[in-house]
Amino acid sequence: MSEPDADTLDPTSLRTPIVAVLGHVDHGKTSLLDKIRGSAVIEGEAGAITQHIGATAVPLDIVSTIAGDLVNPDDFDLPGLLFIDTPGHHSFTTLRSRGGALADIAILVVDVNDGFQPQTLEALDILKRSETPFIVAANKIDTVPGWNVNEDSPINATYEAQSDRVSSRLDESLYEIIGNLSDEGFSADLYWRVQNFQRNVGVVPVSAMTGEGVPDLLAVMMGLSQRYMKEEMEIDVAGPGVGTVLEVKEEKGFGTTIDTVLYDGTVRADDQLVVGGQNDPIVTDVRALLQPRPLAEIRTESRFEKVDEVSAAAGIKVAAPDLADAMAGAPVRVVRNRDLAEVVTEVEAELADIAVDTAEQG
């Protein structure tokens, strides 16, 4: 059989991969997300970057502007990357989809000076068990003594600008991380030496402070997704939406709302939903779909703006009656033309899975 021709695939049916950031406390998870968000905002001044509820979408054209020569947009048909804004292990393990991790791909942040720490090992264990593909961001390269900063530069350019002493000092730290990964059963190497990212973990030296290596990090994430995860990203975009609750929140004027990451299909403002609850599945009707309003408009208006529909992958706040019992990590499913009882059964099964996993984790 021949491979399907990429040109015949409907690009609108390919969704954005969902990216999670993990790592030991203080190794720079939040700073890295802030840096990526910040770079994307600057590059996409016209507002091409969209702030979602609980997530940040970085579209392909912005990835390509940040990554420069490292990403030619013509080589990709995935629409970009969606970063979950809350980094850390707790959110990673509670956020699930159909029995797996909600995140399609992960960045494990390791401080080059501090190396492997208890939560680094814990994160590796979580990634291994959930079979989530990941890359390692070897962060804080700017703290190597004598480092010559080249803001936002790709790694090879800034490497060339370092003295031999500085670059060999960085190499030592990087090889220690590669050795630690190998001790944990992961064959790893500096990302530019990796041929097959399914077999080997790529290590990307970065600085969340100076932006050095961030072009490489985005390029590797984009390349890895395109090469190995494209099939999983094929969705029925117009179909009934499927997502996971990030957080249950009281919102003035809207009552209890659920911040949700949608990973399949579309949710519309007039849809009926089934949401996982602490006891039973909740059957409810969407009252409003809410997205953050651009900062400039917040002074005069509510923080949120109502939208008619949202398609995966996206972060969205859903206001609906009877959500008080909804829980973080629970499934959300749109009913639309489907049989309500069938959707309820699916949600019940997913909730039972979550209960088993929670018990196993003690």
Residue 215, classed as helix, strand or coil, is helix
Least distance in angstroms from the C-beta of 150 to ligand GDP: 13
30 vs 167, beta carbon nearer ligand GDP: 30
34 vs 325, beta carbon nearer ligand GDP: 34
How many Å apart are CA 66 and CA 85, to the nearest integer?
19
The Cβ of residue 352 has, within 10 Å, a number of other Cβ atoms equal to 10
Chain centre to alpha carbon of residue 113: 26
55 vs 319, beta carbon nearer ligand GDP: 55
Least distance in angstroms from the C-beta of 362 to ligand GDP: 24
How many Å apart are CA 362 and CA 358, to the nearest integer?
6
As given in the structure block, the two tokens for residue 208 are 């969340």
Type of residue found at 341: A
Angle at 103 between CA 142 and CA 259, to 5 degrees: 105
Q: Give the orientation angle of helix 60-67 with respect to helix 214-228, to 10 degrees.
A: 140
Least distance in angstroms from the C-beta of 226 to ligand GDP: 27
87 vs 315, beta carbon nearer ligand GDP: 87
Least distance in angstroms from the C-beta of 81 to ligand GDP: 19
Which residues of the shown chain bind ligand GDP in the complex (CB under 6 A)?
Answer: 23, 25-31, 87, 139-140, 142-143, 207-209
Least distance in angstroms from the C-beta of 342 to ligand GDP: 41
Nearest to 250 by CA among 259, 241, 242: 259
Least distance in angstroms from the C-beta of 30 to ligand GDP: 3
Contacting residues for 265 by C-beta, under 8 A, at least 6 apart: 235, 236, 237, 238, 239, 240, 241, 242, 311, 312, 334
204 vs 320, beta carbon nearer ligand GDP: 204
Least distance in angstroms from the C-beta of 90 to ligand GDP: 13
96 vs 140, beta carbon nearer ligand GDP: 140
The Cβ of residue 316 has, within 10 Å, a number of other Cβ atoms equal to 27
Least distance in angstroms from the C-beta of 140 to ligand GDP: 4
26 vs 176, beta carbon nearer ligand GDP: 26
64 vs 139, beta carbon nearer ligand GDP: 139
As given in the structure block, the two tokens for residue 342 are 């069938």
Element (H, E) at 227: helix 214-228
Burial class (CB in 10 A: 0-12, 13-18, 19+), 74: exposed
How many Å apart are CA 329 and CA 93, to the nearest integer?
9
Residue 21, classed as helix, strand or coil, is strand
84 vs 312, beta carbon nearer ligand GDP: 84
Least distance in angstroms from the C-beta of 113 to ligand GDP: 9
Looking up tokens 């991380």 gives 177
